[in-house]
């Protein structure tokens, strides 16, 4: 058998699925252009597994999706093999839980939720993950496990939308939203800090709530709160563009033809992932409005033409010269190893969406919070 002498070998050979006792499916679950679930990769992976399914195997889905996906999508495809669930094979769902760039938590320290289609499936999956993680959290069904993951991500999306909306309001009122959040966070109960930004990014938080609101419609239910949060977060790059235009106007400059340096294109600090990054939408909007765009990101050396961006970009060097030659610097991603002092000292105009320029006395040009 293949696994008798190998513990981990990346391969594209699907024949080794025959030898596996446990098969874990973890593929992307994006949205269509109409913001509806795209389960194409789950279906394709399930079809591949079904072709190699044999008695005695445990199949676990980890891909985030709406409650019911394991039973309604994965299981019917596996049953095409002619084998019987809970007799020949077992099926469970265990959501992936990761926080890229977070050095505090690792796979062995993050509790793993596990739900089986039947009792034995749940027990088998619990044994599997118990060999890997420090704590397994068994739940009564795959639907509960799927719903728990959706709740986790929707909770974050809704709270980020709240502080994003408050940021826009407080900016008009001349109030520093970051100072407000820091003050509120001193309350030892009933409050958890969330911070605003130029929009949500990553594969999970901007996407998963729409899976739930889409599924809700099949139950004749409109998830208004979730959809409103999605609209607020999706619109944030447009708000940053408006703030950039306003900052330029106050310095008697026009966005069309302006040289705009974007700091950070990854979706969050200190990682290289650009999936669903608000920077991509922001750059596209800059291009559409005639700006001359450049970017700097120590984690992302090349930015391919995608998401409506017209051309391929290469990260420029961050120097006093490159900052001075820009008409405006817009901070989108607050990577740790960036010399923001250099930016403050040399930029003509700064639009700061992350509150990284805290000491305004060192800013030589014009600073605008966004």
Catalytic residues: 204
CA angle 328, 333, 335 (to 5 degrees): 110
SS3 for the chain, per residue?
A: CHHHCCCCCCCCCHHHHHCCCEEEECCCCCECCCCCECCHHHHHHHHHHHHHCCCCEEEEECCCCCCCHHHHHHHHHHHCCCCCECCCEEEEECCCCCCCCCCCCCCCCCCEEEEECCHHHHHHHHHHHHCCCCCEEEECCHHHHHHHHHHHHHHHHHHHHHHHHHHHHHHHHCCCHHHHHHHHCCCCCCCCCCCCCCCCCCCCCCCHHHHHHHHHHCCCCCCHHHHHHHHHHHHHHHHHHHHHHHHHHHCCCCCCCCEEEEECCCCCCCCCCCCCCHHHHHHHHHHHCCCEEEEECCCCCEECCCCCCCCCEECCCCCHHHHHCCCEEEECCCCCCCCHHHHHHHCCEEEECCCCCCCHHHCCCEEEEC
Alpha carbon 95 to chain centroid distance? Answer: 15
Look at strands 259-263 and 136-139 and give their pairing. unpaired
Rounded CA gap, 83 and 70, in Å?
Answer: 17
Q: Are 330 and 353 in contact (CB under 8 A)?
A: yes
Q: Which token pair is 226?
A: 């979730």
């Amino acid at each position: 058998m293949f696994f008798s002498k190998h513990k981990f070998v990346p391969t594209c050979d699907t024949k080794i699925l025959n030898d596996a006792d446990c098969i874990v499916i973890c593929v992307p679950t994006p949205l269509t252009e109409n913001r509806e679930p795209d389960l194409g990769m789950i279906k394709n992976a399930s079809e591949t597994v079904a072709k190699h399914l044999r008695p005695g195997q445990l199949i676990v889905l980890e891909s985030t999706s709406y409650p019911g996906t394991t039973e309604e999508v994965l299981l019917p495809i596996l049953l095409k093999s002619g084998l019987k669930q809970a007799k020949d094979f077992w099926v469970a769902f265990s959501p992936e839980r990761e926080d890229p760039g977070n050095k505090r938590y690792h796979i062995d320290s993050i509790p793993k939720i596990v739900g089986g289609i039947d009792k034995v499936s749940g027990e088998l999956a619990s044994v599997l993950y118990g060999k890997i993680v420090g704590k397994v959290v068994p739940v009564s069904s795959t639907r509960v496990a799927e719903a728990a993951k959706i709740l986790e991500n929707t909770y974050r999306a809704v709270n980020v939308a709240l502080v994003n909306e408050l940021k826009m309001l407080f900016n008009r009122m001349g109030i520093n939203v970051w100072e407000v959040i820091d003050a509120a966070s001193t309350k030892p109960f009933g409050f958890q800090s969330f911070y605003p930004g130029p929009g949500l990014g990553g594969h999970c938080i901007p996407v998963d709530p729409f899976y739930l609101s889409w599924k809700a419609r099949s139950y004749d239910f409109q998830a208004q709160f979730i959809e409103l949060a999605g609209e607020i977060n999706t619109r944030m790059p447009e708000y940053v563009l408006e703030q950039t235009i306003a900052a330029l106007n106050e310095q008697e400059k026009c966005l069309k033809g302006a040289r705009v340096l974007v700091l950070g294109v990854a979706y969050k600090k200190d990682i290289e992932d650009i999936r669903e990054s608000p920077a991509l939408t922001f750059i596209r909007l800059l291009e559409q409005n005639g700006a001359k765009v450049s970017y700097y990101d120590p984690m992302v050396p090349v930015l391919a033409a995608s998401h409506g961006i017209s051309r391929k970009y290469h990260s420029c060097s961050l120097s006093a010269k490159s900052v001075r030659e820009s008409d405006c610097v817009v901070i989108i991603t607050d990577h740790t190893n960036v010399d923001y002092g250099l930016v403050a000292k040399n930029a003509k105009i700064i639009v700061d969406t992350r509150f990284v320029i805290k000491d305004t006395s060192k800013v030589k040009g014009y600073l605008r919070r966004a």
